[in-house]
Amino acid sequence: MSSHWIRKTAAALLLGAAMLSPVLAQEAQQIPNTSVALPAPEGYAFAQGIGGAAVSGFINEDTQGIITVGQFDPATYEAVAEGMGSVESANELFASQNITADSISSVESKAGPVLLLHGTQDIGDGTTAEKWIALLKIPETGDGAFLEMTTSEGEFDAAGVQAVLDTVAFTAAPSLADQLGALPFAAEASDPFVTFGVNDGTLIMLAPGRTSESGAVPTILVDGHPNVSDMPPLQQAAEDLVSGLFSDVTIASSQATSFAGADGWMVTGTGTDERDGPVSFAEWFAPVGSGYVRMAAYADKAIFDDLSDTAAAIAKTVTWKE
């Protein structure tokens, strides 16, 4: 079954295929899909696709340290800030990620006030990493920004973290609201999913509070392309997109449905995500105009069933603007 039409239209599969691609940073590095810029700390190199295809930051090949940087909307910022209000609430907030906080502090940085968590994280195989999570508010938009540092014990002390925070700057990159407004489609997240960001025209929703024991975060991707040439018939097009997103695909159901106000197709099944491993998925697809819109939801097999109704409800909010 040919899928050349996917390659020709770059059908938003970069997220599933993103790999670490370190680039040495000589000066302040603009973090993709955020308003955050900072230089790589000593020994670290810029990398994309860390811990999830939507997240970028820095890695240290020698120490295996990882610093991820991200941005989320004002409502999510307020929720996370409330959760980081005390050690007890932070431990509840991050329990699914096996993070244990031992302190929460408020510090000042050149970019503004910071809520700073220090603790540890069980990263599997009996290994414990030191954890620093810094939460900042971007004044111009109200969006939240975070730096999450996962390192060997003692790699950074409080002064070292402060030095990193003092290099953070907020740039004139488009706000999340502006990025969402520029998309040719719209979709609304529902708890436990939150709108995480936009990557190459793909809307990303994550449910970090439902992270599996393996560290896989339930994910929803929504993408749309207004002009597609040589698109195959409806069912084949939907199944081609699934095969581009996952390997080892086993289709459980493939049937007509209504999606984004059009006659569409829905595919469910299991597959292997390059980052998260074995997953269950559901995909909704519909031709719109001369192109298509698609939503794919996937998660660890053990928790997907609990989220499938929420994913279906989010699919009903997807609309095409053009």
> Which DSSP string corresponds to 89-155?
HHHHHTGGGTEEEEEEEEEEETTEEEEEEEEEEE-STT-EEEEEEEEEE-TTT--EEEEEEEESTTS
**Token pair of 161 as six digits:** 């973290």
Instruction: Name every residue whose Cβ is closer than 8 Å to that of residue 88 and which is 6 or more positions away in sequence.
Output: none
Q: What percent of the chain has pLDDT over 70?
A: 89
Domain boundaries, the chain: 31-170, 183-320
Q: Which pLDDT score, from 0 to 100, does residue 172 have?
A: 76
Residue with tokens 């995480």: 196
Rg of the chain over Cα atoms, rounded to whole angstroms, equals 20
The pTM of the full predicted model, rounded to 2 decimals, is 0.58
Q: CA 189 → CA 38, 84, 205, distances in Å?
A: 30, 22, 7
Burial class (CB in 10 A: 0-12, 13-18, 19+), 174: middle
CATH 3.50.50.60 assigned to 183-320: no
**Low-confidence residues of the chain: pLDDT under 50:** 1-26, 52-53
CATH number (2.60.120.10, 1.20.1050.90, 3.40.50.300, 2.60.120.1690) of 31-170 reads 2.60.120.1690
Rounded distance, CA 2 to CA 237, Å?
10
Residue with tokens 């979709």: 187
Q: Which pLDDT score, from 0 to 100, does residue 54 have?
A: 56
